[in-house]
Structure 1
Amino acid sequence: MHVMRGIPATAATAALSMALAATLAACGAGEDGGREGGTAAPSAAATTPGAIAWAPCTDIKRPGGQRATPEPGEECGKLTVPLDYADPAAGTIDIALIRFKATGPGERIGSLLFNFGGPGASGVDTLAQAAKAFGALRTRYDLVSFDPRGVERSSGVRCGGTAEMDEYTSVDSVPEDAAERAEIEKVVEGFADACEQTSGKVLPYIGTVNAAEDMERMRAALGDAKLNYVGMSYGTHLGAVYATRYPKNVGRFLLDAPMDPSLSMREHTLAQTAGFQQAYESFLKDCVKDGQCKIGADADAADGNVTAMLEKLDDKPLAVGGRELTQGLAVTAIASALYSEQTWPFLDQALSTAMRGDGQGLMFLADTYTGREPDGSYSTIMSSFPAISCVDTAERPDEAELLKTEKEALKVSPLFGSAGMGSVCSSWPVAGSDESKKIDASGSAPIMVIAGTGDPATPYEWGPKLTEQLGTGVLVTYKGEGHGAYMSGDECVKQVADGYLLDGEVPAEGTTCPKE
Structure 2
Amino acid sequence: MKKSAVTFLLSAVALTACSTGTTTTSSSTPAAAEKTVGTVAWSPCTDLIGPDGKPFTPGPGVECGKIQVPLDHAKPGGEKIDLALIRVKATGDRLGSLVFNFGGPGGSGVDTMALATQSFANLGKRYDLVSFDPRGVDRSSGVKCGGEIEKLLAAGVDDDVDRMAKEFARACERDSGKVLPHVGTVQAAKDLDLLRAALGDDELNYFGLSYGTQLGGVYATQYPGKVGRFVLDAALDPTVTFEERALTQAAGFAHAFKAFAEDCVAKSCELGDDPAAAQRAVETLLDGLKTKPIKVGNRELTYGLAQLAVITPLYAKASWPLLERASAAAIKGDGTALLTLSDLYTGRRADGTYSTMMTSLQAINCADTAERPTVAETARISDKIRKIFPILAIEGSITACAHWPVPGDDAAKHVDATGSAPIVVIGGKGDPATPYKWAPELTRQLKTGVLVTYEGEGHGAYLSGNACVRSTVDAYLTEGKVPAAGTTCAA
- TM-score, normalised to structure 1, is 0.87
Cα gap change, 1:224/1:7 in structure 2, threshold over 3 Å: closer, same or farther? farther
2:394 paired residue among 408, 415, 418: 418
Aligned to 1:77: 65
After superposition, the C-alpha distances for 1:268-296 in whole angstroms (9 at most, x for unaligned) are 11111111111111111111123x10011
User: Does the 8 A contact of 1:192 with 1:424 survive in 2?
Assistant: no
Aligned to 2:113: 127
Q: CA deviation at 1:420?
A: 11
Of the structure 1 ranges 64-73 and 281-290, higher mean CA displacement relative to structure 2 is found in 64-73
User: Does the 8 A contact of 1:156 with 1:384 survive in 2?
Assistant: yes
Question: Which amino acid in 2 is paired with 1:367?
Answer: D
Query: What does residue range 344-423 of structure 1 map to in structure 2 within 5 Å?
Result: 344-418=320-394, 423=399
Q: CA deviation at 1:468?
A: 0.5
Aligned to 1:285: 262
Q: CA deviation at 1:397?
A: 1.7
Cα gap change, 1:79/1:153 in structure 2, threshold over 3 Å: closer, same or farther? same
Instruction: Among all aligned residue pairs of Structure 1 and Structure 2, give the percentage whose two residues are the same amino acid.
Output: 54
Give the whole-Å Cα distance in 1 for the aligned partners of 2:426 and 2:15: 15
1:234 paired residue among 211, 215, 219: 211
1:245 aligns with 2:222: yes
1:169 aligns with 2:153: yes
Give the whole-Å Cα distance in 1 for the aligned partners of 2:448 and 2:198: 26
Give the whole-Å Cα distance in 2 for the aligned partners of 1:7 and 1:395: 11
| Helix, strand or coil at the partner of 1:61 | coil
Question: Which amino acid in 2 is paired with 1:476?
Answer: V
Higher RCO, 1 vs 2 (CA within 8 Å, ≥6 residues apart): 2
Aligned to 2:291: 315
1:263 aligns with 2:240: yes
User: Does the 8 A contact of 1:114 with 1:144 survive in 2?
Assistant: yes
Aligned to 1:222: 199
User: Does the 8 A contact of 1:59 with 1:66 survive in 2?
Assistant: no
1:155 aligns with 2:141: yes
Cα gap change, 1:102/1:358 in structure 2, threshold over 3 Å: closer, same or farther? same
| Helix, strand or coil at the partner of 1:53 | coil
Question: Which amino acid in 2 is paired with 1:472?
Answer: T
2:87 paired residue among 88, 99, 110: 99
Q: CA deviation at 1:419?
A: 8.7
Give the whole-Å Cα distance in 1 for the aligned partners of 2:81 and 2:395: 33
Question: Which amino acid in 2 is paired with 1:99?
Answer: R
User: Does the 8 A contact of 1:7 with 1:116 survive in 2?
Assistant: no
Q: CA deviation at 1:418?
A: 3.1
| Helix, strand or coil at the partner of 1:111 | strand
2:413 paired residue among 437, 452, 456: 437
User: Does the 8 A contact of 2:14 with 2:249 survive in 1?
Assistant: no
Give the whole-Å Cα distance in 1 for the aligned partners of 2:53 and 2:371: 37
After superposition, the C-alpha distances for 1:174-216 in whole angstroms (9 at most, x for unaligned) are x6xxxx5x82222222222221111111001010000000000
| Helix, strand or coil at the partner of 2:315 | coil
Of the structure 1 ranges 462-471 and 294-303, higher mean CA displacement relative to structure 2 is found in 294-303
Q: CA deviation at 1:372?
A: 0.5
| Helix, strand or coil at the partner of 2:219 | helix
Q: CA deviation at 1:261?
A: 0.7
Give the whole-Å Cα distance in 2 for the aligned partners of 1:276 and 1:188: 26
Of the structure 1 ranges 280-289 and 84-93, higher mean CA displacement relative to structure 2 is found in 84-93
Cα gap change, 1:398/1:150 in structure 2, threshold over 3 Å: closer, same or farther? same
Give the whole-Å Cα distance in 1 for the aligned partners of 2:388 and 2:396: 13
Cα gap change, 1:48/1:55 in structure 2, threshold over 3 Å: closer, same or farther? farther
Cα gap change, 1:420/1:467 in structure 2, threshold over 3 Å: closer, same or farther? farther
Q: CA deviation at 1:158?
A: 1.5
Aligned to 1:13: none
1:472 aligns with 2:448: yes
Q: CA deviation at 1:69?
A: 3.1
Of the structure 1 ranges 497-506 and 416-425, higher mean CA displacement relative to structure 2 is found in 416-425
| Helix, strand or coil at the partner of 2:85 | strand
1:111 paired residue among 97, 103, 106: 97
Aligned to 1:60: 48
| Helix, strand or coil at the partner of 2:450 | strand
Aligned to 2:282: 306
User: Does the 8 A contact of 2:87 with 2:128 survive in 1?
Assistant: yes
Moved over 6 A (4+): 419-422
User: Does the 8 A contact of 1:6 with 1:119 survive in 2?
Assistant: no
Give the whole-Å Cα distance in 1 for the aligned partners of 2:345 and 2:450: 31
Give the whole-Å Cα distance in 2 for the aligned partners of 1:395 and 1:346: 36
Of the structure 1 ranges 404-413 and 219-228, higher mean CA displacement relative to structure 2 is found in 404-413
| Helix, strand or coil at the partner of 2:470 | helix
Cα gap change, 1:60/1:277 in structure 2, threshold over 3 Å: closer, same or farther? same
Give the whole-Å Cα distance in 2 for the aligned partners of 1:151 and 1:370: 14
Query: What does residue range 445-464 of structure 1 map to in structure 2 within 5 Å?
Result: 445-464=421-440
Give the whole-Å Cα distance in 1 for the aligned partners of 2:370 and 2:16: 24
Give the whole-Å Cα distance in 2 for the aligned partners of 1:476 and 1:48: 39
Q: CA deviation at 1:102?
A: 1.1
Of the structure 1 ranges 213-222 and 409-418, higher mean CA displacement relative to structure 2 is found in 409-418
Cα gap change, 1:383/1:277 in structure 2, threshold over 3 Å: closer, same or farther? same
User: Does the 8 A contact of 1:371 with 1:378 survive in 2?
Assistant: yes
After superposition, the C-alpha distances for 1:426-466 in whole angstroms (9 at most, x for unaligned) are 11110111101110000000000001011111011000010
Give the whole-Å Cα distance in 2 for the aligned partners of 1:103 and 1:381: 31
Query: What does residue range 135-146 of structure 1 map to in structure 2 within 5 Å?
Result: 135-146=121-132
Aligned to 2:21: none
| Helix, strand or coil at the partner of 1:143 | strand
Q: CA deviation at 1:160?
A: 1.4
| Helix, strand or coil at the partner of 1:254 | strand
User: Does the 8 A contact of 1:265 with 1:421 survive in 2?
Assistant: no
| Helix, strand or coil at the partner of 1:400 | helix
User: Does the 8 A contact of 1:123 with 1:147 survive in 2?
Assistant: yes
Q: CA deviation at 1:51?
A: 2.7
1:202 paired residue among 153, 176, 179: 179
Question: Which amino acid in 1 is paired with 2:182?
Answer: Y
Q: CA deviation at 1:402?
A: 1.6
Give the whole-Å Cα distance in 1 for the aligned partners of 2:399 and 2:108: 24
Cα gap change, 1:69/1:403 in structure 2, threshold over 3 Å: closer, same or farther? closer
After superposition, the C-alpha distances for 1:466-505 in whole angstroms (9 at most, x for unaligned) are 0001000001000111110111011111000001100011
| Helix, strand or coil at the partner of 1:459 | coil
Give the whole-Å Cα distance in 1 for the aligned partners of 2:77 and 2:125: 40
Give the whole-Å Cα distance in 2 for the aligned partners of 1:110 and 1:148: 21
1:275 aligns with 2:275: no
- TM-score, normalised to structure 2, is 0.91
Q: CA deviation at 1:166?
A: 2.4
